[in-house]
Amino acid sequence: MKDFGNFKNVLIIGLGLIGGSLALSLKNEGFKGKIYGFDLNKERIKKASELNAIDEGFDKFEDINWQDIDLVILATPVKTFENIAKQIKPFLNKDTIISDVGSVKGELVLKISKILQPNIFLGVHPIAGTEKEGIENAVIGLFKGARLIITPSENINQDILKRIEKFWKDLGSKVEIMEPYLHDFVFASVSHLPHAVAFALVDALINLSKETGIDLFKYPGGGFKDFTRIAASSPTVWKDIFLENKKDVLHTIDEFIKSMNKLKEAIEKEDEDKILNILSESREKRLSLEKS
Amino acid sequence: MKDFGNFKNVLIIGLGLIGGSLALSLKNEGFKGKIYGFDLNKERIKKASELNAIDEGFDKFEDINWQDIDLVILATPVKTFENIAKQIKPFLNKDTIISDVGSVKGELVLKISKILQPNIFLGVHPIAGTEKEGIENAVIGLFKGARLIITPSENINQDILKRIEKFWKDLGSKVEIMEPYLHDFVFASVSHLPHAVAFALVDALINLSKETGIDLFKYPGGGFKDFTRIAASSPTVWKDIFLENKKDVLHTIDEFIKSMNKLKEAIEKEDEDKILNILSESREKRLSLEKS
């Protein structure tokens, strides 16, 4: 039975693409409780009300009826979490659970947990989103069929973990559990690094165009367009992710530059075996993903 | 009227994905002449005959009735062009035109033209293909709607240029004309560089997995899978492209490594403005492609 982990009413802080999609999806999947929305931007609150995504919207924490809320979800850029946690702490009911939908966990989960205790914070990362921004691009069912990682700290209350799991499963997400630090390394590698690479690739083409006076963006064939779709992702969101997950991101960028230099040197030396070796190993790995 | 540039019979050298798709597409679009196929691999000739892609297949140049052929198309890896040009030269009819479907032009066009003169060589690069290999993956209509670049050398016979243009237009390709050296720089930037980057990215993830003992390929979410689709492309084909277009490829790789280091340093220094600047410029450029 769909009970969304038995939460009564939920407050979503941040009515952007993810927050807005969450509100709309909850309504659409039959969540019975009230959905409150918070955003500093009044236009977004208006838009969320018009879309019937929220029952009530606020732009000041003191205006909210906190007694009524047993689940708070942070859906703002991860960089704002610490500040928001400090601001809402005085208002929280003792049983209210705080969660999020951010892409960075690790250290951040520990930090936010510490600020909010004795209230419990449970990190959640839905692998969902588009390269668009804002509630006007919110998608009903964005989390349906999507993978979602919950990153409990060591001594988490198992009952609460189960409730948050149920909340997202009832929205159709495929839930996995992962240790917060492992999460950050894995996503630095498979998501943050590819984004950094895509941004740098477009940057290189801008510079090559300037340098030669040839507008390379007139020739989007040959794989380039697909390849850099993710370079259209939100600059603010990604700046924050790169900085919040700085250690792991730099580690993976270094490893990538090593690989890039290895290939470059093999081309320079016309070392056919080495080039073939790099390309074949990559191809094999990539093809093994198709099967999974 | 479809006359495929008024060529009587065509010889396709190399019955791989592109050569096979060309043969099948010619048949399908109603090319009236004979289609001869050459390949060193007898299995491929057999497969091409079974698919009814060719009228006759050869694995020795001396067995071919060269009098019958007025268009030869090289569809082998670009690295083999020089050698093949030398081998077929003694057999060629004086009016036979030689063309190709390779991804590298520039210097190579001049070199092949010189070997084959007084016969005329006209370079052609169809922006089509899949990451699959072999005639068994050939696609009828692969060139339909696809862009195709013809790279004539300076003093090309305009009549022959028009005939080759017609040949491909009758297959449904959208033909553009480009200077051979410009072609190589443009495609180094928008195609060869992205491929090098994709191969290096998968290589980095292989090394990060080894280094940490965490199999990162178990987590293909978060953009990585789309991003590296092209890393499954043929190692042999791409080794040859990287080496044949070495100068331009190295130039674009250097520019890319510069961009990657610029982003890396901005993250290291937590220079928010600089990160935002790189990301925003890339995003804008990428979005401008959507509109075109």
pLDDT digit string, tens, across residues B254-283 = 999 999 999 999 999 999 999 999 999 999
pLDDT of res. B291: 61
CA-based nearest residue to B290, from A231, A177, A275: A231
Instruction: Answer whether residue B222 shows pLDDT above 70.
Output: no
**Low-confidence winner among A122-136, B59-73, B167-181 (lowest mean pLDDT):** A122-136
- For residue B145, count other CB atoms closer than 10 A to its CB: 10
CB-CB contact of B116 with B85 (8 Å): yes
* Gap from B76 CA to chain A (nearest CA, Å): 17
Q: Which CATH number is B183-291 given?
A: 1.10.3660.10
Taking a contact as any Cβ pair under 8 Å apart, which residues of chain B between 7 and 66 contact chain A? Answer: none
Nearest CA in chain B to A217: B289
Highest average pLDDT, of A188-192, B71-75, B227-231, comes from: B71-75
Nearest CA in chain A to B194: A224
Nearest CA in chain B to A281: B203
* Count of A-B CB contacts under 8 Å: 281
Higher-confidence residue of B155 and B246: namely B246
Of B198, B242, B279, the CB nearest to A267: B242
Q: Does A242 touch chain B (CB under 8 A)?
A: yes
pLDDT of res. B229: 77
Q: Which residues of B touch A187 (CB under 8 A)?
A: 219, 222
* Gap from A51 CA to chain B (nearest CA, Å): 26
Task: List pLDDT tens digits, range B14-23.
Answer: 999 999 999 9
Residue B116 binned pLDDT confidence (cut-offs 50, 70, 90): very high
| Whether A260 and B260 lie within 8 Å, measured CB to CB | yes
Average pLDDT, stretch B173-197? 94
pLDDT tens, residue order, chain A (292 aa)? 899 999 999 999 999 999 999 999 999 999 999 999 999 999 999 999 999 999 999 999 999 999 999 999 999 989 899 999 999 999 999 999 999 999 899 989 999 999 999 999 999 999 887 767 889 989 999 999 999 999 998 888 999 999 999 999 999 999 999 999 999 999 999 989 999 999 999 999 999 999 989 889 887 665 677 777 788 888 988 999 999 999 999 999 999 999 999 999 999 999 999 999 999 999 988 888 766 5
Q: Which residues of B touch A246 (CB under 8 A)?
A: 267-268, 270
pLDDT of res. A223: 66
Kindly tell me the burial class for residue A99, based on how many C-beta atoms sit within 10 Å of its own C-beta (0-12, 13-18, 19 or more).
buried
Instruction: Answer whether residue B237 shows pLDDT above 90.
Output: no
Of A196, A216, A232, the CB nearest to B190: A216
Q: Does B282 touch chain A (CB under 8 A)?
A: yes
* Gap from A30 CA to chain B (nearest CA, Å): 28
Nearest CA in chain B to A292: B218
Q: Which residues of A touch B255 (CB under 8 A)?
A: 204, 207-208, 211
Highest average pLDDT, of A151-160, B50-59, B153-162, comes from: B50-59
Whole-complex ipTM = 0.80
CB-CB contact of A4 with A167 (8 Å): yes
Q: Which residues of A touch B126 (CB under 8 A)?
A: none
Please, which residues have CB within 8 angstroms of residue A140's CB and are 6 or more apart in sequence?
Answer: A21, A24, A25, A28
CATH topology of domain A4-178: Rossmann fold (3.40.50)
Both tokens of residue B19?
């050569």
| Whether B289 and A217 lie within 8 Å, measured CB to CB | yes
pLDDT of res. B234: 85
pLDDT of res. A285: 87
Instruction: Answer whether residue B292 shows pLDDT above 60.
Output: no
For the range A236-241, what are the long-range contacts, defined as Cβ-Cβ under 8 Å and sequence gap of 24 or more?
A236/A77, A236/B276, A237/A77, A237/A133, A238/A195, A238/A199, A238/B279, A239/B272, A239/B275, A239/B276, A239/B279, A240/A77, A240/A78, A240/A79, A240/A104, A241/A78, A241/A103, A241/A104, A241/A192, A241/A195
Taking a contact as any Cβ pair under 8 Å apart, which residues of chain A between 85 and 144 contact chain B? Answer: 127
Domain boundaries, chain B: 4-178, 183-291
Instruction: Answer whether residue B208 shows pLDDT above 90.
Output: yes
